């Protein structure tokens, strides 16, 4: 086999190995991950994080948050958020209503790699094809603190998941999810809230997740009884 072909085959392996070792050195104390996990070098982890096997992640991850196996997440993720296995996002779109008569990108797209052999009948880009929450950083979504996203959930590009929200398994989320809402279905709809309005307002005001780690070590029991948590913050004023 020619040396050039050997080099072409080896280079991707070397790149992935070096990236894996770089993260082990820089983030090994903050995040648990595997060789099959894809994490670009610019990702940041606050600590006690986990990204499962065969998953990919791009963004910042707050303390105590995790992603299950075989998931793709492009978002800043807040603290104490759990994302299940096989979650994904969709940030590309096709026109399917008037004025367009076709959904084929050969007639409206100039994006490289979008069309066969980079060919297009049009000489200008006719639609915004990709949806981002943060276009400058190429982050597709934004996920808050204390969220629970079940398995096999798909997030449409640009969607924000509010603090405390719960997304039920197999949901397709096409709109922003309010704080502490419980959503499910295809497309996802609000089916309830975790707490009453007064309690939600209290939690959003005090943002317990912003405390330092020592506070959690000394007051972890408060997070297992919301009435005690309320009493604690009310006593502090």
- pLDDT 10s digits, 178-219: 999 999 999 999 999 999 999 999 999 999 999 999 999 999
Q: What are the extents of the domains in the chain?
A: 195-237
Rounded-to-integer distance, Cα 144 and Cα 188, Å: 17
pLDDT of 145 strictly over 80: yes
- pLDDT 10s digits, 79-122: 999 999 999 999 988 889 989 999 988 898 888 777 667 788 98
What confidence score (pLDDT) does residue 54 get? 93
Torsion angle, CA of 119/122/125/131, rounded to 10 degrees? -60
Q: Which of 50, 94, 170, 206 is catalytic?
A: 94
What confidence score (pLDDT) does residue 79 get? 97
User: What would the DSSP string read from start to end of the chain?
Assistant: --HHHHHHHHHHHHHHHHHHHHHHHHHTTTEE--TT-B--TT-EE-SSEEE-TT-EEESEE-TT-EE-TT-EEEEEE-TT-EE-TT-EEE-B----STT-S---GGGT---TTTSGGG--S-SS--S--B--SBTTTTB-EEE-SS-EE-TT-EEETT-EE-TT-EE-TT-EE-S-B-TTEEEETTTTEEEEESS-HHHHHHHHHH-GGGS-HHHHHHHGGGGG-HHHHHHHHHHH-
Q: 34 with 16: CB under 8 angstroms? A: no
HSE-CB at 201 with a 13 A cutoff on CA atoms is 3
- pLDDT 10s digits, 56-81: 999 999 999 999 999 999 999 999 99
Q: For residue 192, what are the β-bridge partners? A: 182
Among 175, 1, 170, smallest CA distance to 161 is for 175
Q: 94 with 114: CB under 8 angstroms? A: no
Rounded-to-integer distance, Cα 236 and Cα 226, Å: 15
Identify whether 94 is a catalytic site residue. Answer: yes
- pLDDT 10s digits, 9-32: 666 656 566 666 655 666 667 788
pTM: 0.84
pLDDT of 4 strictly over 80: no
- pLDDT 10s digits, 164-184: 999 999 999 999 999 999 999
Count of C-beta atoms within a 10 Å radius of residue 74: 21
């Amino acid at each position: 086999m020619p040396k050039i072909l050997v080099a072409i085959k080896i280079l991707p392996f070397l790149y992935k190995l070096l990236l894996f070792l770089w993260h082990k050195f820089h983030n090994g104390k903050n995040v648990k991950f595997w060789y099959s996990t894809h994490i670009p070098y610019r990702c940041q982890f606050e600590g006690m994080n986990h990204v499962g096997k065969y998953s990919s992640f791009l963004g910042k991850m707050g303390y105590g948050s995790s992603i299950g196996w075989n998931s793709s997440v492009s978002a800043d993720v807040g603290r104490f958020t759990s994302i299940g296995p096989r979650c994904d996002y969709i940030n590309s779109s096709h026109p399917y209503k008037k004025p367009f008569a076709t959904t084929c990108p050969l007639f409206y797209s100039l994006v490289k790699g979008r069309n066969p052999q980079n060919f297009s009948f049009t000489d200008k880009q006719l639609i915004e094809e990709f949806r981002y929450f943060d276009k400058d950083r190429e982050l597709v979504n934004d996920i808050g603190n204390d969220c629970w996203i079940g398995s096999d959930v798909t997030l449409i590009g640009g969607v924000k998941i509010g603090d405390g929200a719960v997304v039920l398994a197999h949901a397709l989320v096409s709109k922003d999810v309010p704080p502490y809402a419980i959503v499910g279905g295809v497309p996802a709809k609000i089916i309830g809230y975790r707490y009453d309005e007064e309690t939600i307002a209290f939690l959003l005001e005090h943002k317990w997740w912003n405390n330092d780690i020592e506070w959690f070590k000394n007051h972890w029991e408060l997070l297992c009884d919301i009435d005690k948590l309320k009493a604690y913050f009310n006593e502090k004023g």
